């Protein structure tokens, strides 16, 4: 098995407005993209545990034409919260880097 950081070409996270965060996983070839799509570790349940979010609140979009996966969920706390540590969510993808991909 390989880790997500070894299978994906690029991974990034960012705000999708003040109340949502999105993580984009990009592949450079169809075979890698299909591998990511089929993985049992890129599911709402696994991502929910990783980020402390209810799986029903997570949205996963597969963009076949770009070989990319977009994962969106509520940002807790929202952008601009008094004790927030990552205002733009630019570092939030790091939690996913070591996920095992079959």
Average predicted confidence (pLDDT) for the chain: 94
Given a cut of 70, the residues of the chain with pLDDT beneath it are none
Q: Are strands 68-74 and 59-63 parallel, antiparallel or unpaired?
A: antiparallel
Instruction: Give the tokens for residue 88.
Output: 């733009």
Q: What is the pLDDT of residue 28?
A: 95
What is the tens place of the pLDDT at every residue in 59-76? 999 999 999 999 999 998
In three state form, how does the secondary structure of the chain look? CEEHHHHCCEEEEEECCCCEEEEEEECCCHHHHHHHHHCCCCCHHHHHHHHCCCHHHCEEEEEHHHCEEEEEEECCCCCCCCCCCCCCCCCHHHHHCCCEEC
Q: What is the pLDDT of residue 79?
A: 86
Tracing tokens 């570790």 back to the chain, one arrives at 41
Q: Enter the pTM of the model.
A: 0.91
Q: What is the pLDDT of residue 78?
A: 78
Backbone angles phi, psi at 23, to 5 degrees: -120, 125
Instruction: Specify the CATH class of 2-101 in words.
Output: alpha beta
Q: What is the pLDDT of residue 85?
A: 80
Domain residue spans in the chain? 2-101
């Amino acid at each position: 098995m390989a880790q997500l950081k070894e299978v994906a070409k690029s991974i990034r996270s960012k705000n999708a407005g003040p109340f949502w965060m999105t993580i984009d996983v990009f592949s450079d070839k169809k075979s890698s993209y299909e591998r990511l799509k089929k993985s049992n570790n890129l599911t709402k349940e696994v991502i929910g545990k990783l980020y402390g979010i209810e799986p029903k609140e997570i949205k996963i979009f597969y963009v076949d034409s770009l070989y990319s996966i977009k994962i969106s969920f509520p940002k807790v706390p929202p952008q601009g919260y008094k004790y927030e540590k990552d205002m733009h969510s630019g570092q939030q993808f790091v939690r996913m880097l070591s996920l095992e991909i079959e």
